[in-house]
A and B are shown apart, each in its own frame.
Chain A
């Protein structure tokens, strides 16, 4: 299977770990990723300009359509933005007309068939839990892990169609396959605080602190994310010493899954250093 890989703005440079581990997992599963000259998904300007944000997203679809490919992204904000854009593009004729005109200037056209998938929904629905389970080569130690769902993929369900927005389960199911112990906590579907990090850092960090406290209370050893912005937010702890409970490490789902699939550690992290109690053989 061949898919266009939409990495978004932050993954290629700031989150090389996500880039590496995502590609390694996809390669292992026999998925061919194609990198196209995409632009921003439009999520960062969603609060600034409706037009710009929708145009940005639709233009990416048009680029994917040109190569006759569906898209996959490991970022939940990109994914949510794409779904959001499809919804508004299809329901607002004036907007559609304006965007189509701008696309035509660059010999682009979007006919509305391009599908976009998030890493987790792709693994669940397109690969299938059973098939993925059979590929697991090494069960990881049963350390306690909590998941961070990521708002923009989850809500609004009528637009994103990701999973049950109140009691989602695909992340837990996918993580459970790897052997780690997925534990419940109170904040799996609550926002990580990243969207207002720039405009209201104090509040953003307060939210983050609360998440750490809740995870600690639930007895978690690790937090697992599958979203660029959630991961960046949790990684903030490394550079911000006003946050407590820093001993909780946040891992990307692709790193955990990759290890369970038997992908070498070097292909999962740029530094090649991942927590030993989870990734090293006993």
Chain B
């Protein structure tokens, strides 16, 4: 039964891994990498980041220590404990799970994995920044929770086996030839020294205990180290001892065995589709050639999208993200790298499931500062991903605000619902957009900030844009001041001047009436951005329906 289920799980795992491999390989064309002559690999990065987890060390020493201890402990548990049927004979001639040092090491490793797992859960649940998107939170936690459950059930299993009278009786029958009287002596010894729970009331006399010890030495000791080395399980024993009868009568140990073993199989089967895949993909992503500044400046950056699945959602990227304040105002989760990468994965899987408008607004705000890429413990080339994503969203219909307004007819722009700014705010939805936040510099709405304009055209004359591109400009700065005086603020937000402005402040500095011309233009751009956000949203949502 055990063997059959084990091999079945392995087969399912291999099929799953194959499916996943095919899927990840298929996604390659998302980034349109130019076929390079020969792939180049980063061998040093591969070794450093796989075996020493060097990038994690760089990101945080404590987290590295916790993760590295977990890594070693889990590896030990997997090889020596989990696969002992195969591995034990290769390495140890006298392996018994109940003998030291194995019993002791199993407990210690289990403790480390459990403690580290709980530390991960606590960090992810209470950490301010990465806590923001519930979808991400649950997704990223499942794997850790399952592992904590696995180790927890392991300890419970060991404890239930320690107190189990049925197992004691089976062992006695199999490994000894003692009579009933001696059995009582041995029981007494095991009750006192190995914490077995016996249903009957055993009365002890000193010579019986002595005899029990002799019997123990004769039959048991070569397979059973004292249980004090099983520290954690012993603590669990203390907790469940009072319920010992219930445990023994119902053979809870058997149920726990199947739970524990089943969980192992489930983890194995789900591995290709869970966060645990990072154990294979981090070495892969770390082996990708490291890009230089020059590579990023080229227009054709590419990324192997399989590396996205090396993400463990640790949230370090969002922790250092340069534009976190954007998120604080617009509450757009796609501003933050660790949430954005989830959306990209969604986009690969099923484009219609993703709010492309929100993703575009979030990605558009990225300043490409490289901080997330630098810190990513999984070695994912996020910088390239954001560039590729920008291009891809462009293909899907997202456009720069400047182009969007250029493409939008004045008729469309002057639609009633856009004219009243109030309406835009009530809609609520543009909150996630590029131009979120309802506080402005309040210049364009206050008549005293532009009424002093004497239409002297100095602003227009000093504007470098008009010097270089007078044909491309429909309204000049002084004409925009006039539009405001006519109460045509919304019309002003669509002018080329507003969107081509270099923000060099020449007009403002030269204005004899001390009007904050550039600041007004910027404010108009903010206001126009809100309208553009809505048009963009309709546009991207329409495409969504058409597909």
User: Which chain A residues have a beta carbon within 8 Å of chain B's beta carbons?
Assistant: 9-10, 12-14, 16, 37, 39-40, 42, 44-52, 55-56, 59, 88, 92, 94-95, 98, 102, 106, 151-152, 154-157, 165-166, 190-191, 193, 195-196, 198-200, 203, 206-207, 210, 239
| Cβ contact within 8 Å between A37 and B367 | no
* B370: A residues at CB distance < 8 A: 12-14
Cα distance A45–B365 in the bound complex, in angstroms: 7
| Cβ contact within 8 Å between B441 and A92 | yes
Which among B321, B367, B401, B439 is the interface contact of A98 at CB below 8 angstroms?
B439
Closest 5 CB pairs of A and B: A51-B437, A155-B505, A13-B370, A199-B402, A9-B369
Q: How many A-B residue pairs have CB under 8 A?
A: 155
The contact size tier of chain B is 35 or more
| Cβ contact within 8 Å between B503 and A203 | no
| Beyond A51-B439, A152-B504, A207-B468, 13 additional pairs, beta carbon < 8 A | A9-B322, A40-B367, A47-B503, A47-B526, A52-B325, A56-B326, A152-B503, A155-B506, A165-B509, A190-B504, A193-B502, A203-B465, A203-B500
* B445: A residues at CB distance < 8 A: none
Which among A9, A94, A193, A198 is the interface contact of B400 at CB below 8 angstroms?
A198
| Cβ contact within 8 Å between B526 and A13 | no
Which among B293, B434, B439 is the interface contact of A14 at CB below 8 angstroms?
B293
* B509: A residues at CB distance < 8 A: 155-157, 165-166
Name the CB-closest residue of B to A60.
Answer: B325
| Cβ contact within 8 Å between A40 and B400 | no
* B402: A residues at CB distance < 8 A: 196, 199-200
Name the CB-closest residue of A to B503.
Answer: A195
Chain B, 406-458, CB within 8 A of any chain A CB: 434-442
B384 to chain A, nearest CB (A): 13
* A88: B residues at CB distance < 8 A: 441
Instruction: Flag whether B197 is at the interface (Cβ < 8 A).
Output: no
Given contacts A157-B509, A195-B503, A196-B500, whether A48 and B323 have CB atoms under 8 Å apart is no
Proximity bits, B222-259, A CB within 8 Å = 1, else 0: 00000000000000000000000000000000000000
Given contacts A49-B329, A49-B330, A59-B325, whether A195 and B441 have CB atoms under 8 Å apart is no
* A193: B residues at CB distance < 8 A: 502
Cα distance A44–B468 in the bound complex, in angstroms: 23
Cα distance A105–B504 in the bound complex, in angstroms: 35
* A55: B residues at CB distance < 8 A: 325, 328-329
Which of A40, A46, A210 is most buried by chain B, counting CB atoms within 10 A of its CB? A40
Name the CB-closest residue of A to B440.
Answer: A50
* A10: B residues at CB distance < 8 A: 367, 369
- Can you offer 17 A-B residue contacts whose CB atoms are under 8 A? A14-B293, A40-B367, A42-B325, A45-B434, A46-B503, A48-B525, A49-B330, A50-B439, A52-B437, A55-B325, A56-B325, A56-B326, A106-B128, A196-B402, A199-B402, A200-B500, A206-B469
B44 to chain A, nearest CB (A): 20
User: Which chain B residues have a beta carbon within 8 Å of chain A's beta carbons?
Assistant: 128, 293, 296-298, 320-326, 328-330, 365, 367-371, 374, 400-403, 434-442, 464-465, 468-469, 472, 499-506, 508-509, 516, 518, 522-523, 525-526, 529
| Cβ contact within 8 Å between A50 and B437 | yes
* A207: B residues at CB distance < 8 A: 464, 468, 502
| Cβ contact within 8 Å between A151 and B505 | yes
| Cβ contact within 8 Å between A94 and B439 | yes
* A154: B residues at CB distance < 8 A: 505
Which among B441, B499, B501, B518 is the interface contact of A50 at CB below 8 angstroms?
B441
Given contacts A13-B370, A92-B442, A195-B503, whether A50 and B434 have CB atoms under 8 Å apart is no
Cα distance A156–B503 in the bound complex, in angstroms: 10
| Cβ contact within 8 Å between A151 and B503 | yes
| Cβ contact within 8 Å between A13 and B437 | no
A86 to chain B, nearest CB (A): 14
Given contacts A49-B437, A50-B441, A51-B329, whether A39 and B468 have CB atoms under 8 Å apart is no
Which among B329, B499, B502 is the interface contact of A52 at CB below 8 angstroms?
B329
| Cβ contact within 8 Å between B504 and A155 | yes
* B440: A residues at CB distance < 8 A: 50
Cα distance A12–B435 in the bound complex, in angstroms: 27
| Cβ contact within 8 Å between A40 and B322 | yes
B360 to chain A, nearest CB (A): 13
Cα distance A9–B439 in the bound complex, in angstroms: 25
| Cβ contact within 8 Å between A195 and B323 | no
B379 to chain A, nearest CB (A): 16
A134 to chain B, nearest CB (A): 35
* A195: B residues at CB distance < 8 A: 502-504
A192 to chain B, nearest CB (A): 9
| Cβ contact within 8 Å between A9 and B367 | yes
| Cβ contact within 8 Å between B436 and A49 | yes
* A52: B residues at CB distance < 8 A: 325-326, 329-330, 436-437
* A151: B residues at CB distance < 8 A: 502-506
Given contacts A13-B374, A207-B468, whether A199 and B322 have CB atoms under 8 Å apart is no
Given contacts A9-B369, A55-B329, A239-B297, whether A48 and B526 have CB atoms under 8 Å apart is yes
| Cβ contact within 8 Å between A191 and B502 | yes
A10 to chain B, nearest CB (A): 7
Cα distance A42–B365 in the bound complex, in angstroms: 11
Cα distance A200–B506 in the bound complex, in angstroms: 19
A207 to chain B, nearest CB (A): 6
Cα distance A210–B320 in the bound complex, in angstroms: 39
* A92: B residues at CB distance < 8 A: 439, 441-442
Which among A13, A42, A155, A190 is the interface contact of B293 at CB below 8 angstroms?
A13
Name the CB-closest residue of B to A58.
Answer: B325
* A9: B residues at CB distance < 8 A: 322, 367-369
* A56: B residues at CB distance < 8 A: 323, 325-326
* B321: A residues at CB distance < 8 A: 39
Which among B296, B298, B369, B523 is the interface contact of A12 at CB below 8 angstroms?
B369
B438 to chain A, nearest CB (A): 8
| Cβ contact within 8 Å between B325 and A39 | yes
Cα distance A92–B441 in the bound complex, in angstroms: 8
